[in-house]
Structure 1
Amino acid sequence: MSEDTAVAITQSTELPRFWFWLALLWVVGLVIVSLMAYRVAEQDILSEMEGEALMMADRLDKYLRPYQNIAESVAELNSVRQALSRNALQTPSLSRFLQRMAVNLNAEFIYVINNQGRVIATSNSATADTLMANDLSFRPYFQQAAAGQTARYFAYGMNTGRPGYFFAAPVMQQGDVVGVAVVKLALTQAFRQLEGHKAGFLIVGYDGVIIAASDAEWRRRTLYPMPDRQRHVLIQAQRYGITSLSAVGNNQPATAFEGAYIYLNKRGLTQRYLVRRAVVREAGWHVMAVSPLSKLYQQILLFCFYYTLFIGVLLLLWMYWRKRAEVQKHVEGMNQELERRVTELTAELVQSNDELQELVDHYRRSQRELQETQGQLIQAAKLAVLGEMSAGINHELNQPLLALQTYVENSQRLMTKGKTELVDNNLAQMHQILQTMQGIVSRLKVFSRRTPPEPRMTDWQEIINGVMLIMNPLLKKSAIRVDIDPGPAGLQVYAEPVQIQQVLVNLLTNAAEAMQGQSQANIRIRVTTEAGLAHIRVRDSGPGIAADLREKIFEPFYTTKSSGLGIGLALSRRIVETLGGSLLLEEAPEEESEPDSAAKTVFVLTLPTAEQRRENG
């Protein structure tokens, strides 16, 4: 038998034995950890619940304590004694006084009851749920106060249906009880503190009824099954309003108030809960903090998970150490092979880097040449447009020149006659004509100048004014009517003004050429804004563009005209896209066409507005 075969047999025998002992160790440790975790988690939960219960009991006691002597103070008021001595069924003035007192003391109700149990004055006399003239003789707090003792009592209001705590005191006159003064403190806000609390809470009265709870399903139910006679008495007293007082769990009275566990039904499922208690002694309430055993089991499972994770980490570390020893044997040989390959790859990378650098340099040169060519094409397109408009410009400048010649000759004759005032008038007219010519020439000069593009926020009205100043000679010569809807006032677009003017001049020139020979030639420019974009629509009344040519017209050097380079629309689209906009051709819907226009060609120029630039930062 070879040595390798013997090693393999030994390993195959030891491996199952190793896993068996590892599994046994894990199970034993899991049992120990579960027992320890149960005790630790139970103690932590009980300690936390006890603190929560004491804190809640103290909070409720502080909430009730400021109101414990108010009923006695009301009973000692002379106005209350006088109202009771008159045997009046209603005393409006006293009710108004009690209303002000209730507002100042932040009490829900303050009312006075005569010896027959009828309310003769109340702070809520003006509301729909008033207690005025109600018979409250069945209330235990009235019966106790009518016997000459102060009383405290929890109950749900007969009219409001809201929980409250009642403080009652006898009204004494010459040693006799003539009535009862009652102060009701609203508990809705105090009980609302239980909602969404970290711990589950029950507030239970001495009769075993759950007054308030963190879960609405437990409220106004009994903590244990109550005898029918006792339940009937509580229902007749209307202490808890309209309710059947069904049991929330199958507990015993003794264990419900003293045991370490109680049973509670939640959503049809009865569970056992850990419980810790505190007492609000003056009110006779038991505050119970409860936690389901499932929470304890969750913590135990969490401990078991951490234990298993710890064992798993140890196992992984051992497997890592074992693998590391195996891998270490291969590292030295691999390092040598790696060094050899790195040397080869380094030489290849140096060669590739040199080739890549040559490509980058070539790309940069191509980009510079492309930018220069594009600038030359834009300039050529400007000059081509100006060349096409030269006849109109010549006509536009020729008329003022003839007018200037006329004014000069006229002024010479007037000077010989000494009519200097008329000469001054002629000079003023000549100055105005020269300013007009200067504006046309300066605009053309700016338009034809080759300048680097500088996009910025530009007033749209300024752009269209410059376009119309350039185009007016050609439009007048061709008898074309232009309607402009400038859009919102003060519209700012992100553009290079001269380049956008070049695009619009090119569109208007193409439209004018398409409408040659028409008796009624119209161009309409309409500006709208939407979602931070300005849409400039240029429509003409020409014959339109065939559907199969609509994409070709934007191709460089494609033209349907007998003259021209065929680069105007291609350059225009390129200029607009560089500025973050678009230039499209669309067919005008028939319902948008004007009655006197059969417009079918609509170019849509879209540019960003100031609003979009602010949103994009």
Structure 2
Amino acid sequence: MERNVAEVEKARWAIILPALLGALVVGVVAGAVVAAGDIAVKIRSERIIQRGRIEAERYAALLASELHRFDYLPELLRYHPSIISVLQAPSDPSRIAAANRYLEEVNRAAGSTTLYLLDLKGVTIASSNWSEPTSFVGRDLSYRPYFVNALQTGSDRFYGIGTNSGTPGYYFSRALRAEGAPGGVGVVKVNLERFEVHPFTMLGDVIITDQNGVIVLSSRPQWRYKTMTQLSEAVLANLNNARQYENVPLTPVGIVTEESFGGGAAIVSLPSDAPGTGRVRFLAQELHLDGSDWEIAILSDLSDVLIVKRWTQLIVALVGLALILFVLFLLQRRRAIQLELAAKEFLARANIELEHQVKRRTQALVAANETLRATQDELVHSAKLAAIGQFAAGVTHELSQPLAAIRALADNAEVLIKRSEIDTANGNLQMIGELVERMTKITGQLKLFARKDWIEVQAVSVNCSVNNVLRMLDEKIRQVGAKVVFSEEGGDLLVEADPGGLDQILINLTSNAIDAVSGASAPLVEIGARRVDRTTIISIRDNGAGLTEVVLSRLFEPFFTTKTAGAGLGLGLAISEGIARKYGGSLQASNRPGQGAEFLVILPSHRKMAEADNE
């Protein structure tokens, strides 16, 4: 018996060892092919990088020279009498006319695009294009950074799209003095549309980016005004404030760095110009443009590198294939002798494995039955926990907006106290107290589904409730950019309700309306209130996409929502409808053809309003 086992073991190793040797040879050859390709890519890429850096430095020098040959013009203005004169009396028509003619002559002689003069408020006093339809004269350019920075530091450079002409330009500005005091800012604009960027014949495409990673010049027009990365909200806000790229969507060009070589060189990929053809890989290298905060990137075609890599890998692969064939020949000679021993070993192992499998399957079935029973218990327990978690998440959803309002009011109060505006700060603290009181009431709203507690109603002003809601949703309204309009027919309407409950209904409906118009070109939410007989109808309309028939049929079901995961549990409308019923009213929803959705809150008018009608 021991002898048979030894023979089987020997036969097994007689098969395993050649297989391991073959796998090792294949692995070595595959590794050699990959390594050879990488080495070839590195050597070829280094040559392209060296050649590209020389070309990039030459191009950078030419571009810098072309840009900066105009930066002397603002400095020139400070010495001319007509400029000094108009700075001293910026409202004198004769001095303005003289300055316009002088700027026009200098601009024409220098070959710049526009030469103009700003006063200390950033308003254009005189300009070389004073006689053209796109004249800068009288335009307020105080929002431009080159004006602010020139007054603070003496000079500045800036790139942007002209808000008047719509053409891109590079601006040089310098602060000017009149009678020893700051008098204004002189600015020259150089139109960059004439700087055509062509791809290098031997290297490839050229990209020039500003300090924010926005492509300002490119050999491929479709890349212009794209961004190298996704810009942060803060950067986008600064660009919008400066109107640097007005009416231009700044979307990422889609560049991805795949491998870095150091020294500013890397292999990158970009989406192909042809749809559905994947991405195109380039060898990229960057160079700083002297005298500015721009970067020049050269994207070289990798086809030559890939050809060298493939030929190198092919040669190494052929050598490796010959080695593998030799190993296979040796293995084949041994295989015929080992087949019989291998078959016996296989049968023996199969019998042993079969016994083990039967034993394992029996044990697995017993364990599976135990696991199934445990899983059933866990599912029951998990269902209970999920219900509790959903209600807790619903309360958090309903409190999130008042909490945001409290935080904003508290931050404002801190600033007001620092400014010693104590009365205004006290007003904020009072509103915080009111919001906390309402939050206490909000926590009881979820009980309206199951409980039938009577709510003590009172006279509630619709106007006050709407104003409370708009204050709490102010931040959300500003983020969406929505216009919210409130109109009330018949004076200050009073309804039979509870202040916190009515606020909660209007918060849910108004917040949903703001979400519905977030994608509209001119988002609009209209809130109206009118009295019909003994009831008061509050309407909330939006110009969003409206509601489908499926959504309308399930709108007031608890936990039904059309929002994305995490944006809401679908309790808001169900809670609001329950609150309205408790007041003896109702909540209705409908579509306005082609105009979005409309929700109607119908509540009993307070008895004071009814008595006034009877009188």
Shorter-chain TM range is 0.3 to 0.5
TM-score normalised by structure 2 residue count = 0.42
Higher relative contact order (CA 8 A, sep 6+): 2
- Highest CA radius of gyration, 1 or 2? 1
